[in-house]
Homo-oligomer: A and B are copies of this chain.
């Protein structure tokens, strides 16, 4: 054993998430990363290998937090569909302009749009992740269907895509310089869409 690391890996990653989520991949320079993580380039590269490596690890943190957030949210509801509906309403509330979020738009979507046609390795990873989420939404909806919450003829995989597109649309819309009530109403309208699929 020797000198102990001064930084905490997880808290460094959390700070990286904030920066990357806010500014995106290319607009976060190593200089800004140094400042945000309070680490010098040598340490950053020793710990994470490259800017790509750091970004991918930060993205994984973001994805995990997102997944945990959805899980803990759904756990509060006996009805899965009502859980999703309030999930949309909660996103709208959280994505209010002036809120505490680093960015209102989803980091995965920002990354998807930023890296397509420019940065293949990161684009592939974010594609993988979004596919996994779509898949998971489909499974939860499938469970809702077997709970008799959904009409028996509902195509859950298809509804999962519609739901994911709603979340993407809501959060991207919220990135605009708009006002809170408009975003809240949008979230409410999107929650209402799910009613048409209920039994």
Contacts and interface: CB of A to CB of B under 8 A. Distances in A.
Given A158-B185, A161-B173, A173-B165, A114 B24 contact: yes
Contacts of A110: 113-114
Contacts of A173: 161, 164-165, 168
A68 interface: no
A173 to B, nearest CB: 5
A153 B11 CA distance: 50
A80 interface: no
A172 B168 CA distance: 7
Interface in A144-199: 158-159, 161-162, 164-170, 172-173, 175-178, 182, 185-186, 189-190, 193, 196
Contacts of A189: 158-159, 161-162
A26 B26 contact: yes
Contacts of A10: none
Contacts of A164: 173
A15 interface: no
Interface centre among A24, A103, A158 (most CB of B within 10 A): A24
Interface of A: 22-24, 26-27, 103, 105, 109-110, 112-114, 116-119, 123-124, 127, 130-131, 158-159, 161-162, 164-170, 172-173, 175-178, 182, 185-186, 189-190, 193, 196
